[in-house]
Structure 1
């Protein structure tokens, strides 16, 4: 039989309605960070629900990083300020659930890093430039026989660049996407027969990027950064998907 296929109707639980209303109050600014929700008893009255429903709603709100609720606290739950950690968790879940391909994730990393280095070249302080340089020197020192140290120094470099960009969203997204990409290919990188050569080539790329940042040439730094990322990751991406990465190099 043709026509649309409908799904069974799901009954919305009472605690979900409580969560929705509190979220809306926080998003609208009616509840500000540092403020307090009414007590459990008052919430029971206002929402006309049981204590167990109120407590379940508070558990969900706390899990989402929106409030902090302490057992036995006579005051209501505290509304928390937004933190990058909450976005980090949401983005990680999105990437897992959406089953993004490695090519899509690497492409997004190239976009993020290119933009971050462009901004950093123009906005960085001398101390931030020094921090990037120290990270590259640490990469160089570790390239021969310390893969873990090399990886940590590489992370430190990109974190320094993201901070120098001055954009918190870039910082969070960079951290999330990098961790997901590395988790997907960590075994392949660890087993690469030419791993030391890859690390040394990566150091040279980073030195070129640093030179462009020091000169304040953002467009050049961005091009070099994206090319370095392509050279490092392209081999792990299916051949028929590499064109999407190369498009960012043109």
Structure 2
């Protein structure tokens, strides 16, 4: 597989919008260019789990760079969870299945590069988590809902061990609901966006007053969600999910952007 080829020119004319100046040019390091090309090939499906990249020697030839540059690119790709690389492997680095960790890192890069904030992330989470809950309410079997009941019991038990233990149990409950949708992409996306929201407001959450009341409110909400799921009320599950996410996080959205999340209530 050749990775260093130029893309074909775009067809048609492009008119620069008024008042839209070009952005300053940033010099891209050679290894970053290699990483970007490999990421693009994986995203496009040209490289799939189990596929092999060319050997280090072949990559140095294709990209016309030093071996140390290739190795730095492979190190970045491996730390991102996209490939498995062994020095001297004659078969070349192997593309591996995407993991939740890799998804979080990729999502974080997009959020940072686009300068997205809590408003965009919360709106996205309200949309997809409510959809996941709605689908789960339609598909979950009685035994699967019993397992979700156990996750709620674990949340109740975690209250005595403090807010961090409770938060971990709360995440497991949300993950369980998402998994009941049967859609792995929803699970991965929710894991990524949940992590990003918490990263952006972690300091404010740590300073939140009256955590005891917050935990009790969360438990009561999850009970209502589970009861609605048992009753097969998919739309009610979606509504409750949006409502609680808004109540929990909307105060961290800038006032002039609050309408982005208010509109979903």
TM-score band w.r.t. shorter chain = 0.7 to 0.9
- Pick closer, same or farther for the CA change 1:14–1:202 going to 2, 3 Å: closer
Aligned to 1:161: 177
Aligned to 1:108: 124
**Aligned-partner Cα distance in 1 for 2:119–2:95:** 39
Greater helix content: 1
Single out whichever of 129-138 and 52-61 deviates more from structure 2.
52-61
In the TM superposition, residue 27 of structure 1 has moved relative to its aligned partner by 5.7
Aligned to 1:73: 89
Give the TM-score of the pair, scaled to structure 2. Answer: 0.76
In the TM superposition, residue 47 of structure 1 has moved relative to its aligned partner by 5.6
**Aligned-partner Cα distance in 2 for 1:123–1:104:** 29
| CA contact 2:100–2:191 (8 Å) conserved in 1 | no
- The number of residues matched between the two structures is 247
Aligned to 1:215: 231
| CA contact 1:36–1:78 (8 Å) conserved in 2 | yes
Aligned to 1:124: 140
| CA contact 2:225–2:240 (8 Å) conserved in 1 | yes
Structure 2, unmatched stretches of 5+, are: 1-18
SS of alignment partner, residue 258 of structure 2: helix
Task: Say yes or no: does 1:34 pair with 2:47.
Answer: no
What are the Cα deviations for residues 172-195 of structure 1, in whole angstroms up to 9, with x where unaligned? 221122222223333333333332
Aligned counterpart for 2:201 among listed residues 185, 191, 207: 185
| CA contact 2:103–2:192 (8 Å) conserved in 1 | no
**Aligned-partner Cα distance in 1 for 2:34–2:243:** 49
Structure 1, unmatched stretches of 5+, are: none
In the TM superposition, residue 201 of structure 1 has moved relative to its aligned partner by 1.5
- Pick closer, same or farther for the CA change 1:245–1:157 going to 2, 3 Å: same
| CA contact 1:202–1:232 (8 Å) conserved in 2 | no
In the TM superposition, residue 118 of structure 1 has moved relative to its aligned partner by 0.4
- Pick closer, same or farther for the CA change 1:24–1:179 going to 2, 3 Å: closer
- Pick closer, same or farther for the CA change 1:65–1:199 going to 2, 3 Å: closer
In the TM superposition, residue 229 of structure 1 has moved relative to its aligned partner by 1.7
Single out whichever of 204-213 and 15-24 deviates more from structure 2.
15-24
In the TM superposition, residue 91 of structure 1 has moved relative to its aligned partner by 0.4
In the TM superposition, residue 219 of structure 1 has moved relative to its aligned partner by 0.4
In the TM superposition, residue 17 of structure 1 has moved relative to its aligned partner by 6.4
**Aligned-partner Cα distance in 1 for 2:252–2:63:** 53
- Pick closer, same or farther for the CA change 1:124–1:193 going to 2, 3 Å: same
CA RMSD of aligned residues (A): 3.2
Task: Say yes or no: does 1:134 pair with 2:150.
Answer: yes
Single out whichever of 74-83 and 44-53 deviates more from structure 2.
44-53
- Pick closer, same or farther for the CA change 1:215–1:73 going to 2, 3 Å: same
- Pick closer, same or farther for the CA change 1:204–1:18 going to 2, 3 Å: closer
In the TM superposition, residue 207 of structure 1 has moved relative to its aligned partner by 0.6
**Aligned-partner Cα distance in 2 for 1:15–1:240:** 40
- Pick closer, same or farther for the CA change 1:197–1:123 going to 2, 3 Å: same
Aligned to 1:90: 106
Give the TM-score of the pair, scaled to structure 1. Answer: 0.80
